[in-house]
Amino acid sequence: MKEQENHLHLNKAINHIIRNFTDVPNLEEVSKISGFSKFHFHRLFKAYTGETLHQFIKRIRLERAAFLLVFQKHRSITDVALSCGFSSSQNFATAFKKHFNSTPKSYKEHKKCQGILVTEPKLISQYNDIQLKYIDSFNLAYQRTFRPYNEESFTQTRYEFLKKYPNRHYISIFWDDPTITLEKNCKYDYGYLIENPHEKTETEILSLQTMEARTYIILSIEFKQLRDIKSVEVWQYLYTNWLPRHGYVADTLFC
C-alpha cells in the first residue's frame, strides 16, 4: 500500500510536468507538488519512472518536438524547438541528435509512421458515427502503468480494473506515441469517469486528475468480450490517417 500511495503523489508531479514541460519545472517546485522532500522525491521518482527528473523532462520535450516534426511539417524547426522549451535551435539540434541519432531536419524529412497503421483497420467499419465533439473538463480516477502499448497487456489491465470497479464509464489514456517513445517509457492510464463531484472514490489506491476541456474524436464501440477491443489499432489509425485526411491536426498531449 505504501508504494501505491507514493505513486499517487508521483502521478501528480508527472501530470504537472507533462502540462508544463516548457516552463522549466525544477526539483523544488515538482517535489512540493508531490508532497515529498526534494531528497525523497528524487529517489522515489527515479524508482518509479526509471529516470531522474532532468532526464524525464528533457525526454518529454524531445519527444513532443519529434511528434511535431512528423505531424506538423509546416512548422519550422526553430518554431518547434522554442515551443518545446529549448532556448535555441542550436541547443535543440544537439540534444535531438544525441537522443534520436538524427538531425531534426533529417528526421522531419524522412521520418515515417513506422509501425503505425496507415490503412483503415477492418474493425473501423464496425464503429459508428466517428465525429469531433468539444467536451467540458472532467475528473478521472485512474491507475497508471509504464508498459508497451499492446492489446494483451491492456486486456488484462481492463479485466482486473473492471472487477474492482464495476458499472462505471471507463476511459483509457495513451500519453505517448510508441514510434517515438521507447516501450518502457510509454505511459498508460486506465480509469473511470467521476460523474458526481460528491461521489466517493478509492483515493487511497487510485490517482485523480482533471482532464481539460478540448475537442475529442468520438466513436461508439460494440463488443462482446474485452479481448475484442482493438484500442491500439483504432487510435493509431485515427491519429495517422483519419485526422490528417479530414484536415485536422492532432494534439500533442494525449490520446
Q: What is the mean pLDDT of the segment spanning 37-66?
A: 95
Q: What is the mean pLDDT of the segment spanning 69-93?
A: 93
Cα–Cα distance for residue pair 33/209, rounded to 1 Å: 13
What confidence score (pLDDT) does residue 184 get? 92
Residue 131 has pLDDT above 70, yes or no: yes
Between helix 2-19 and helix 53-71 the angle, nearest 10°, is: 50
CA distances from 120 to 9, 34, 99, 116, 216 (A): 40, 42, 32, 11, 19
In this structure, CATH architecture of domain 2-109: Orthogonal Bundle (1.10)
What confidence score (pLDDT) does residue 148 get? 86
Residue 10 has pLDDT above 70, yes or no: yes
Residue 213 has pLDDT above 80, yes or no: yes
Cα–Cα distance for residue pair 117/119, rounded to 1 Å: 6
Cα–Cα distance for residue pair 213/229, rounded to 1 Å: 26
Residue 52 has pLDDT above 90, yes or no: yes
What confidence score (pLDDT) does residue 253 get? 65
What confidence score (pLDDT) does residue 118 get? 43
Cα–Cα distance for residue pair 57/87, rounded to 1 Å: 14
User: Which residues, 6 or more positions from 34, have their beta carbon under 8 angstroms from its beta carbon?
Assistant: 9, 10, 12, 13, 41, 45
CA distances from 115 to 85, 234, 250 (A): 28, 13, 18
Opening angle at CA 178, ends 176 and 182, nearest 5:
95
3-class secondary-structure state, position 157: helix
What confidence score (pLDDT) does residue 159 get? 83
What confidence score (pLDDT) does residue 119 get? 47
Amino acid at 54: H
Which among 69, 160, 181, 62 has a CA at the least distance from the CA of 116?
Answer: 181
| The 3-state secondary structure of 129-143, one letter per residue | EEEEEEECCEEEEEE
Residue 98 exposed, middle or buried by CB count within 10 Å (0-12, 13-18, 19+): exposed
Cα radius of gyration (the chain): 19
CA distances from 129 to 52, 65, 82, 208 (A): 43, 32, 38, 30
Residue with grid cell 468539444, as numbered in its chain:
134
The secondary structure element, H or E, covering residue 235 is helix 231-237
What confidence score (pLDDT) does residue 114 get? 46
Q: Hey, where are the domains in the chain?
A: 2-109, 122-245
Superfamily of domain 122-245: Regulatory factor, effector binding domain (3.20.80.10)
Q: What is the mean pLDDT of the segment spanning 182-202?
A: 82
